[in-house]
Structure 1
Amino acid sequence: MSTINKVPASAGAEWLLAGFALLRRAPVPLATLSVLWGLLSMGVMLVAVTLPAMTLAMQFLLVLAGPLFFAGMLWAVREVDQGRIASPSHLLQPVREGHALALVITLLPQLLAALVMGALLFVMVGTEQLQHLREVYQQMQVIAAAGGEPDPSLVAGLPAGRLLLWLLLVAVVFVAVKWMTFIASPQILFSNTHVVDAMRNSLRACVHNWTAMLVFYLLAGIAIFAVGMGTLLLALLLALVLGPTLAMGLWQFVLMAIVMPVLAGAAYTAWRQMLGTGTAQASAAPPAQIEV
């Protein structure tokens, strides 16, 4: 049974700042892990390009490897937090610890959500209306390509209300799925929690601390945008010397080298605070707790 701590809304900012702080403590080792993942992903996609028949299999492999990579980043972040050195071998540490299957299972909520929402779209809108929507979209693309203005009558017969309701449901389900996995991996890795319990604890912790989650997502979005624009400007300058292709490739690697360790550090810090293993609290009052 896990104890879920109530944290203030400002904790969302603390998680993000902690992620940057951990990256500053070991910028080269943590960035190296991200670059290695980027190179491995590039290698897999090159195989897919070389062998078109393997494209679907390679994409599926990358999807399965995603949770394992992020878990490896979490492991490296904890090493840095505890004063040890992060190394490339940490990318495989979750596999060596026997957590690979549990981490891959965390993808199931996303798969089930996609299937359910796809089926719900057909039920709510209907096949004929979806076909009509596709035709309208194609017509609007043709008009936009020709430089014309779309005719409002094109969308007059579309079931706008049902589509908006479906989009709202998609947003709610998307948030629920993300919250189910937000701190599930640290529990699996560091507390040996069963994957189902880990996802349940993660969802309840995020719901219980929804204000902190809102602050975190807002600030993380701003930070990622700022880092992306800053590094893109540098890439545009490098493009004058190295060429656009190489400069854009370097930009993607630099962006990944910054963003991934920060997000891993934020998730690690959030796990410590919300599930009782952290010490940071915003006030002297004892935290409110719920049992799960």
Structure 2
Amino acid sequence: MEIRKVPAAAGAEWLLDAFRLLKKSPIGFGLLAVIYAVLWLIVVLVSGTAPPMAKALQLIFIVIGPLLMAGMIFAAHEVAEGRSAAPAHLLASIRTGKAARLLTTLIPQFAVLFLIFGLLFLMVGQENLDKLSALMLKIQTEAQNGGQVDPQLFLDLPAGRLFLWMVLALGIGFLSLLLTLTVVPDMLFNDVRLVPAMKRSFTACVRNLPALIVFMVLAFVILFAAGIGAGIVMGIAQLVFGQTATLIGNALMNGFFICFIAGAMYFAWKQMLGAADVAAPGESPGVAM
């Protein structure tokens, strides 16, 4: 299966095309975002009201994450082909028999988290982590009470080791992106399993590194700007409707961000690895290369 070379500007095209998808099917993607938001809200609310159930719900939400992403990517394909996004697309991985295969994408996710937090523990140490946790709690409490935290408290932390850990964490995160950017759509639309899909993603991203860098920079700028705008709106809503407005606003914002990123991932896969024809749900998906 061919891995194509694309120009650097393709990274911007993936994001622009994702915007166009949202505009083409606002109701469909809106429903998908609301479903994601409701699931996210359930986890958050249960965590606050029934802590014993929180761990189980969080684990369930993490496990179904790849399936939700696959459904949104399939919805992106449907809209790109002139149809509309629909809630039923969230079940695309199940209907196509790819659910079990897509769940294996949790393996690299957990491996990255284990590596990052393992390095944090080894480089900073449990005692310093306890200090950092207590300091973060103190900062949060003082911020809520309108107070200030003594800067002297930060001097007790190993700033050099924390900075080095952050650099390593960013490097690991970037490597993880190279290995996984196109994995979900590749496994959904092609007869590819986890390891070959990761190899294809890595090769495609390295071959198209300029496009990937443009994509990452612009995605960060867009999401940062959108976050600021949404924060202002939610701040105003909170003054009128209270804390509930912020909670619901955060949930909806997360839902729309996931839809947007899913669309961008679909176009990244399609330009570098994919093809025009993809099977509909219920058929055996395959792509003629």
User: For this structure pair, what is the TM-score category when the shorter chain's length is used for normalisation?
Assistant: 0.7 to 0.9
Give the Cα separation in 1 of the matches to 2:257 and 2:154.
44
Give the Cα separation in 2 of the matches to 1:256 and 1:132.
32
Equivalent residue letter for 1:177: S
Give the Cα separation in 2 of the matches to 1:167 and 1:98.
39
Give the Cα separation in 1 of the matches to 2:185 and 2:229.
31
Give the structure-1-normalised TM-score. 0.81
Cα pair distance change 1:253/1:112, threshold 3 Å? closer
Cα pair distance change 1:277/1:228, threshold 3 Å? same
Q: Percent identity?
A: 37
Displacement after TM superposition at 1:47 (Å) = 4.3
Q: CA offsets per residue over residues 250-279 of structure 1, 9 Å max, x none?
A: 42244235322221111111101111537x
Displacement after TM superposition at 1:136 (Å) = 7.0
Structure 2: 5+ residue stretches without partners: 277-289
Q: Secondary structure at the match of 2:151?
A: coil
**Correspondent of 2:246 among 231, 237, 248:** 248
Indicate the residue corresponding to 1:266 in structure 2.
264
Cα pair distance change 1:257/1:3, threshold 3 Å? same
Give the Cα separation in 2 of the matches to 1:123 and 1:189.
37
Higher-Rg structure is 1
- The size of the alignment, in residue pairs, is 271
Cα pair distance change 1:98/1:247, threshold 3 Å? same
Tell me, yes or no, if structure 1 residue 101 matches structure 2 residue 94.
no
Of the structure 1 ranges 223-232 and 266-275, higher mean CA displacement relative to structure 2 is found in 223-232
Q: Secondary structure at the match of 1:6?
A: coil
Indicate the residue corresponding to 1:26 in structure 2.
25
Give the Cα separation in 2 of the matches to 1:114 and 1:204.
23
Indicate the residue corresponding to 2:77 in structure 1.
78
Equivalent residue letter for 1:259: F
Q: Secondary structure at the match of 1:151?
A: helix
Equivalent residue letter for 1:59: Q
Equivalent residue letter for 1:15: W
Indicate the residue corresponding to 2:184 in structure 1.
185
Q: Verify the 8 A CA contact 1:32 1:257 in the aligned structure 2.
A: no
Cα pair distance change 1:34/1:148, threshold 3 Å? closer
Q: Verify the 8 A CA contact 1:45 1:58 in the aligned structure 2.
A: no
Indicate the residue corresponding to 2:127 in structure 1.
131
